[in-house]
Amino acid sequence: MAKKRRKQKKQVRGLPEDLLTERKVRTAPAEDPGRQPPSWNVQLLDHEGPFGWSHLKKRDVLGTILGKLSHFERMTWAEIQQGAGCHNVKLSHPKFASEAHRRLREIGQDDIDELFSLRLNGKSRVWGILFGSVLRILWWDPEHNVCPSGPNT
């Protein structure tokens, strides 16, 4: 009677045996978004309305917006939020402009509770929806009208 031969596993040089016998799914651990650098998504850019990007002046793109966004990319979200004027704003905030509420309804984004404000300089703000470490940019607010602050508001 002939003996049955056992199949031998092929040994690949340098790889541990457990990697050869079983495939394991590996996922990166979920990180705190505050410890990550920002990234931007422009899919939701609002081109029309009172805070639309169609009102943008060419000098603002290079002089203010791109330079400041580039600067923010060297920071983490926690560092950005520690700076003056960069924070989440609840839509229920009493100074949140009624035209901003109206525009959110018009563009189908009225199901959110808050927007994130990035202060670029004195009055200028970029507004968006912060989702994890990605800011989904909505509006350009050069005069700080979305949610004005200060004694004259």
User: What's residue 153's pLDDT?
Assistant: 46
Distance of CA 150 to the CA centre of its chain: 27
Is 12 a domain residue?
no
Is 76 a domain residue?
yes
In which domain, by residue range, is 77 found? Answer: 36-141
Q: How much is the average pLDDT of 37-64?
A: 90
The band of 152, judged by pLDDT with boundaries at 50, 70 and 90, is low
User: What's residue 77's pLDDT?
Assistant: 92
Q: Does the global pTM surpass 0.95?
A: no
Mean predicted lDDT score pLDDT of the chain: 83
133 vs 5 pLDDT, higher one: 133
Distance of CA 134 to the CA centre of its chain: 2
Amino acid in position 18: D
Is 28 a domain residue?
no
Per-residue pLDDT at 30 exceeds 70: no
Distances (CA, A) of 81 to 84, 111, 127: 8, 23, 14
Number of independent structural domains in the chain: 1
